[in-house]
Structure 1
Amino acid sequence: MKKTSTRLADGRELIYYDSADDTVRDAVDPRPLDPISTTSEIRHDALLGDSVAIASHRQGRTYHPPADECPLCPSRDGRHSEIPGDDYDVVVFENRFPSLAGDSGRCEVVCFTADHDASFADLTPEQAGLVLEAWTDRTAELAEHPHIEQVFCFENRGAEIGVTLGHPHGQIYGYPFTTPRTALMLRSLDAHAERTGGRNLFDDLVERERTEGERVVLATDHWTAFVPYAAHWPYEVHLYPTRRVPDLRALDDAARTEFPQVYLELLRRFDRIFGQGEPPTPYIAAWHQAPFGDPRRDAFALHLELFTIRRTSGKLKFLAGSESGMSVFINDVPPEAAARRLREVASAS
């Protein structure tokens, strides 16, 4: 992998990640952009104990542009986008409309491919492996940021999820705090260790799923994918490396080599859940990594959570009163049935 860092016209950092070591990236951003000005701030909710990012400048962000005006496509034929070059493998750059900025953290955009009409599932294993290297490199870089405590790499796919740019891309958030979801996991981790004489909750969860097998979707030497016992979403898969590690930086070479095939297979199965003729399945894919300064980080387990809000053909799972008002999820699809369906739509060998 070759990494080339440059700056956009307004001072934001942009990084090319290329498979070929001899690739040259020297295009300059000619746009007359003013320096970025943000209003992002973090406010603490005294009642719930969590934090909320207030970012009013995001009201003016780009919203569903036509394909020929996509800001994530390469700059070509006299049209200048967020990427100055006329082609790229993988690109990461600072978000022009960040939810978090400065002392409040950092937001980055990850473009998986220059092909506007592709999706992550269309990538080759080599391309997917390069994205994994970019996620890992950004985690390592942001770990050195004085105001960042946790890094979250994720992808939103589909208009139903709220995606405003159709080009295949994801994001990376560097939070200045431990996120509420991770804090809940850490509390459960502590409680399990106390209850079981020091056993690790993540290890026990994965072992249980591999032993029972009913909810396992895909298992290899280095990864296990399963529908969780108490899945919140209609189709939800958690993917764990066999060797527990706290974040992407600690994955070994064997797990890195096997990841692209495993992940691409899961994404392709998601697109086949509801049968032929259905539009692409909307989903969120989210990497859960340990906070950097937490004393329990070595007990945390890196894992990816992949889920869709589509519950059946033509119908979405909306967060209504119980979910939005009280955080009590009601799932219409039994996890065992979801796992069975995801096994049924496996790629032909």
Structure 2
Amino acid sequence: MHKRVYAKKDGRMLYLYGLKPHTLPALEEGENTGQAQSHARWHPLRQEWVVFAASRQGRTFLPPKEYDPLAPSKPGGFPTEIPFEDFEIAVFQNRWPSLSPHAGAPPEGLVIPTRDAQGDCEVVVYTPEHSGSLASLSPERRELLVRVWADRYRELYARPQIQYVMPFENRGEQMGVTLHHPHGQIYAYPWIPPILQKELEAFQKSPVLLNLLPHLGPYTVLEDAHVLACIPPFARYPYEVLVFPKQFRPGLWAFTEEEISSFARVLGQVVQKLDNLFHKPMPYVMALHAAPKGAEEVFHFHVEFYPALRTADKLKYLAGTELAAGTFAMDALPEETARVLREVAI
């Protein structure tokens, strides 16, 4: 894998990854952006940090194809976030971040504790094409993407203030997507987020996924010698999918070459099955959960897919019991939805 590091004129960093070196000349860039301003406030009832980033209100929202900010730039054309005529995979610091190395100091005089939000938010552009998905990427491009994620984990975790790194993808307007171009994001937090703290505490008690592994036959959707994908028996969404390596690994940076190929292939197949389930692109959130800093000996890497559709024309909404009480109510049994998804042809 080759990596080119490029400093944009507004100070944000752009990383160009590829199977061959990237040597194209840079084109004209767009306007400079203002400095990101965000901070965190402590929620005393939930015992967790909430990030405030008012500048994000002005971010780009569903632009037409000719103004796609994630496309390659063209000479004399609309200046995009990537000032080059072509690339394989591009990663850049978000123009409208929730977390930033330059977030600034929190406000003073509030009645609750505050702190800085000095982390980072990156955009990962999977392809120069305006449309596509993890399923439609070539096997070589998906493997490259896995290596890109691993490199970003290594680089971001090397920063002293970063405690947790999470790549994720929001897909579909139902999930709040503001750009259609195939992409994901990476958040690097200066604290361990509450869901990951709970998962860490579970892994500190026992090897949860390895203990479950021998019992997941009825729930398995896809598997090979290295990676398993299942609808877990505790699924909170009808077609929620859990993907993890069969050997203990704290993160993608610890995968073998065979595991990288297997993981990339299974990710693509999971998305293909989800899309074929109702014969249309499945809206979802996909989150990669790797070990928090310092927990590499106990935390088992895994990926969680939260698909939004429960039938072809009905969404799984989060309502009163889910949002207000934190208890999910499921109207489909994982044993049945696993069978259905397993039988979907790809």
Tell me the equivalent position of 1:302. 301
Unaligned runs of 5+ in 2: 102-116
2:53 and 2:82 map into 1 onto residues whose CA distance is 24
Look up the match of 1:40.
38
Question: 1-side partners of 2:118 and 2:42: how far apart?
Answer: 12
1:186-265 alignment runs, 5 A limit = 186-190=200-204, 192-193=205-206, 200-209=207-216, 213-265=217-269
Where in structure 2 are the equivalents of 1:271-290 lying within 5 Å?
A: 271-274=275-278, 276=279, 279-290=280-291
* Aligned CA-pair RMSD: 1.4
Say if 2:174 is the partner of 1:160: yes
| Greater shift in the superposed pair: 137-146 or 258-267 | 258-267
Letter in 1 for 2:293: F
User: 1:297 Cα shift?
Assistant: 2.9
Q: Distance in 1 between matches of 2:155 and 2:53?
A: 24
Tell whether the 8 Å contact from 1:8 to 1:28 is kept in structure 2 after alignment.
no
Task: Report what 2:151 is aligned to.
Answer: 137
Letter paired with 1:12: R
Deviations 1:58-89 (A, max 9, x none): 00111111111010011015221000011110
TM-superposed deviation, 1:314:
1.1
**Which residue matches 1:328?**
327
- Structure 2 residue matching 1:298: 3-state secondary structure: coil
User: Residues of 1 paired with 2:202 and 2:31: CA distance?
Assistant: 51
Q: Work out whether residues 17 and 134 of structure 1, in 8 Å CA contact, stay in contact via their aligned partners in 2.
A: yes
Q: Are 1:18 and 2:32 matched, yes or no?
A: no
Q: Please, what TM-score do these two structures have when normalized by structure 1? A: 0.91
The 8 Å contact of residues 41 and 53 in structure 1, kept in 2 or not, is answered as yes
SS in 2 for 1:43: strand
After superposition, give the CA deviation of every residue in 1:294-327 in whole Å (9 maximum; x if it has no partner): xx43111001111211110111111110001001
User: Residue 29 of structure 1: CA displacement?
Assistant: 4.2
Which residue is equivalent to 1:73? 71
Are the counterparts in 1 of residues 134 and 267 from structure 2 also a CA contact under 8 Å? no
Could you list the runs of 5+ residues in structure 1 that have no partner in the other structure? 194-199
Alpha-carbon distance in 2 for matches of 1:346, 1:204 = 29
1-structure distance, mates of 2:311, 2:141: 31
Matched, 1:317 2:326: no
Are the equivalent residues in 1 in contact too, given 2:122–2:185 (CA < 8 A)? yes
The correspondence for 1:117, drawn from 131, 139, 155, is 131
Q: What is the rounded CA distance, in whole Å, between the counterparts of 2:244 and 2:214 in structure 1?
A: 11
Q: Deviations over 1:65-115 (max 9, x none)?
A: 111101001101522100001111000000000011125210000000000
Q: Secondary structure at the match of 1:85?
A: coil
Q: Could you say which residue in structure 1 is the equivalent of 2:92?
A: 93
Dislocated runs of 4+, deviation >3 Å: none
Paired residue type of 2:210:
D
Q: CA 1:30–1:39 in structure 2 vs 1: closer, same or farther (change >3 Å)?
A: closer
**Amino acid of the residue matched to residue 44 of structure 1?**
W
Residue type of the alignment partner of 2:338: A
Cα pair distance change 1:106/1:29, threshold 3 Å: farther
The answer to which of 331-340 and 52-61 deviates more is 331-340
Identity fraction in percent = 39
Q: Cα deviation per residue 1:32-63 (whole Å; 9 max; x = unaligned)?
A: 414x4122112222221111111111001111
CA distance in 1, matches of 2:28, 2:99: 24
CA distance in 2, matches of 1:207, 1:53: 40
Aligned residue for 1:196? none
Amino acid at match of 2:275: D
Question: How many residues end up aligned between the 2 structures?
Answer: 330
Whether contact under 8 Å (1:111, 1:169) holds in the other structure is yes
Match of 1:126 in 2: 140
Deviation at 1:149, TM superposition (A): 0.4
User: Are residues 1:175 and 2:189 paired?
Assistant: yes
3-state SS of 1:44 partner: strand
